[in-house]
Amino acid sequence: MVANQVKINGEDVAAAGMTVAEYLASAQYDLRRIAVERNCEIVPKSKYAEVVLETGDVVEVVNFVGGG
């Protein structure tokens, strides 16, 4: 794995050193419609600006979709 790589939704992304909030903004996610799991633990939305992604982290960003 390259020095600053984080696995996000199954893909290697150069996101190590970014906060969750910074990554989500750079990837243009709608914060109202997602949940983030980092290394098998849910990251509370209130912590997005505090949690820093590290090399080797495994992150899943899940989008919620409405329907009926």
List the CATH number of the domain containing 21. 3.10.20.30
pLDDT, one tens digit for every residue, the chain (68 residues): 567 899 999 999 999 999 999 999 999 999 999 999 999 999 999 999 999 999 999 999 998 877 66
Residue 48 forms part of a structural domain: yes
The sign one gets for the Cα dihedral 67, 61, 49, 15 is: negative
Residue 68 forms part of a structural domain: no
The pLDDT of residue 46: 97
Rounded CA separation 38/8 (Å): 9
Residue 16 forms part of a structural domain: yes
Query: 21 is in which domain, residue-wise?
Result: 5-63
Backbone torsions φ then ψ of 63, nearest 5 degrees: -95, 135
Question: What is the pTM (predicted TM-score) of this model?
Answer: 0.90
